[in-house]
Structure 1
Amino acid sequence: MTINKAWTEDGLTYLSVRPAQKKVNTQFDTWEIIPGTGAFTTVITTKDAQALLTCPVRDEVAGTSRAELLPYSPAQFVTLLNQLDSGLYDGIGYDLVFDGAGQVTNLKSLYRP
């Protein structure tokens, strides 16, 4: 998925998302994100959702480990995302996990250069 905006309103965190494709860049052990087209859809995160902001393709990627990945709350994620240059949004991919009610319970940014 790609995210074009995120916001918090009335205690809930909203993400505007669109499907994207990801493929492994074997030269650098990173993900390459291919943004989708069409309209963005708004989804809600659960109050206890976690956001992991870097996710290596493989555990052995130099300089990273899963132990170093710290979870952020949805509100912290909104703050960090909104500090990015909006021109970067299409190049950053996210894996989202949804619960049975269609709310995001887990979000991981994909490791890329």
Structure 2
Amino acid sequence: MRPAQKKINTQFDTWEISSGTGPFTTVPMAKNAQAQLTCPVRDEVAGGSRAELLPYSQAQFVTLLNRLDSRLYDGIGYDLVFDGAGQVTSLKSLYRP
């Protein structure tokens, strides 16, 4: 992970995300953590509408992420929630600025 700044754009009622720079840091995911994506990755659909959060297990998420073209990795971002032990408990909102 690498920190980014997220703020509300009141003009368009959207989020404005400024990607961070510098080295990446590896963070552990809790055993029961779940990826919740706001859109399908590639052609994968978990049912429901695009407006819903689509739940993926860690294994499913990693498999889908590994299918992406490596040129897309720069700029992909997530909202992470950490527990008191510094582990990721939730990964939400795959986005690309």
Same fold (TM over 0.5): yes
Give, in angstroms, the shift of residue 112 of structure 1: 6.2
Count of matched residue pairs: 87
Q: Which has the higher relative contact order, 1 or 2, with Cα contacts under 8 A spaced 6 or more apart?
A: 1
Looking at structure 2, the residues matched to 48 and 75 of structure 1 have their Cα atoms a distance apart, in angstroms, of: 11
Gaps in structure 1 of 5+ consecutive residues: 1-16, 56-62
Residues 49 and 104 in structure 1, CA contact (< 8 A), matched pair in contact too: yes
C-alpha RMSD over aligned residues:
2.6
TM normalised by structure 1 equals 0.62
Richer in strand (by share) = 1
Alignment partner of 2:81 out of 90, 93, 97: 97
Gaps in structure 2 of 5+ consecutive residues: 40-48
Task: Give structure 1 regions of 4+ aligned residues with deviation exceeding 6 angstroms.
Answer: none
Q: Secondary structure at the match of 2:30?
A: strand
Please name the residue that 1:46 is paired with.
Answer: 30
Looking at structure 1, the residues matched to 81 and 64 of structure 2 have their Cα atoms a distance apart, in angstroms, of: 20
TM normalised by structure 2 equals 0.70
Q: Percent identity?
A: 78
